[in-house]
Amino acid sequence: MNPTDAIRPAHVEVSLGAIAQNYDAIRAHVGTASVMPVVKANAYGHGIVEVAQHLMNHGAPCLGVALLEEAIVLRQAGITLPILVFGGVATRQIPQFIAHGLMMAASSIDKLRQIDEAAAAVKTKARVHLKIDTGMERIGVHWYSAEKLLEASLSFTNVEVVGIYSHFANSDAADLTSAKEQLARFLEVLEFYPKRGLQPPQRHIANSGGILQLPESHLDLVRPGIMLYGVYPSKEVRQTVALQPALNWKSQVVFFKVVQPGSPVSYGGTWQSDHPVRVVTVPVGYGDGYFRALSNRGQVVIRGQRHPIVGRVCMDQFMVNLEWGTAYNGDAVTLMGDGISAQDVADWAGTIPYEVLTNINTRVPRVYV
């Protein structure tokens, strides 16, 4: 039986093969650097467990997530790879990090001390990556204050510093002045190690933009996020790696009608025609993560042709104007794919591809192909 037959007439198709292909292309592009696939936010809407399992089987050496809860889900699903949690660590969470064998970010001497004490209590070593803020102003010790943290990190016997990293704020821009300044700051911090005759831990700063535009930032490890799923991080970024989009969002026509002139469509009556038109209803809405901002702006593909969304997108449905084209109940409707990219949807909604992908609700079934 077709896997889409038993589910609602709306689903996301995820190509695990495309994700693996993108991973291989990234790995070839970055040379000797390791590749840490980032699977946070439900693998950018693609399904965190299925994507992580596929990448583990494909040979990925480690994974990155944003939250402790995401990492625990992966452990419970049998993912045994090293996992780095990028987000800030609350003191009460430290025992859970240690119990699940997770790597955590540390940005202060106090946090290192808390981690050291928690690890000592269970007679183990906790693995951390030191987080350096080189200009993002989010989490991390400022680059100009980092030396004390690095010095202190050498003294905790129950903490193993396995990495040191920072994060670009503007590596996907056309103007790379800011990103290059951040990289220079990070490299300055890293001088701490050779000055003391020490081998540095794994060094990493390159996200998708850095991978694509700043080969000098690849260092020991890179962290592809959105590009792993076949989407470029911005319209300005240089497309130096060929990518294959991994996600198609599909639905079906569930109702067909002829709408008469002057008859408003959907909430608020924001659209009407001055002539008879054929309008179909699609059972997807902002409750699924299909933005209300796409009202009277978005487009879909039906029978190989693009058609506009008319009226406001509802929580669970929206309407499409066929003019005098043909469609039948059950006909396929493509919201993303068939020439409609995540960037297209983002442009229509006034947002970015990251939000388009991560906004797809978990009530939309995923089908893996």
pLDDT of 8 strictly over 90: no
pLDDT of 325 strictly over 50: yes
Question: Rounded to an integer, what distance in angstroms lies between the CA atom of residue 260 and that of residue 125?
Answer: 71
pLDDT tens string 46-68: 999 999 999 999 999 999 999 99
Other C-beta atoms closer than 10 Å to the C-beta of 21 total 17
User: What is the DSSP annotation of 135-189?
Assistant: S--SSSEEGGGHHHHHHHHTT-TTEEEEEEE---SSTTSS--HHHHHHHHHHHHH
pLDDT tens string 330-345: 999 999 999 999 999 9
Sequence ranges of the chain with CATH classification 2.40.37.10: 247-368
Which amino acid would we find at residue 92? R
pLDDT of 160 strictly over 50: yes
Sequence ranges of the chain with CATH classification 3.20.20.10: 32-229
Question: Rounded to an integer, what distance in angstroms lies between the CA atom of residue 44 and that of residue 48?
Answer: 8
- Residue 5 is predicted with a pLDDT of 59
- Asked if residues 320 and 308 have their Cβ atoms less than 8 Å apart, the reply is yes
- Residue 4 is predicted with a pLDDT of 54
Question: Rounded to an integer, what distance in angstroms lies between the CA atom of residue 82 and that of residue 2?
Answer: 36
Query: How would residue 7 be classed by pLDDT, with cut points 50, 70 and 90?
Result: confident
Token duo for residue 203: 């060094």
pLDDT of 272 strictly over 50: yes
Q: Tell me the average pLDDT of the chain.
A: 97
What whole-number percentage of the chain has pLDDT above 70?
98
What is the domain class of 247-368 according to CATH? mainly beta
- Residue 149 is predicted with a pLDDT of 98
What whole-number percentage of the chain has pLDDT above 90?
98
Q: What is the DSSP letter of 227?
A: G
- Residue 338 is predicted with a pLDDT of 96
Give how far the C-alpha of residue 15 lies from the chain's centroid of Cα atoms, to the nearest Å.
15
CATH among 3.20.20.10, 3.20.20.70, 1.20.1530.20, 3.10.20.90 for 32-229:
3.20.20.10
Query: How would residue 37 be classed by pLDDT, with cut points 50, 70 and 90?
Result: very high
- Residue 1 is predicted with a pLDDT of 39
Overall average pLDDT of the 188-215 stretch? 98
Catalytically annotated residues = 40, 267
Token duo for residue 352: 């970015």
Token duo for residue 202: 């794994």
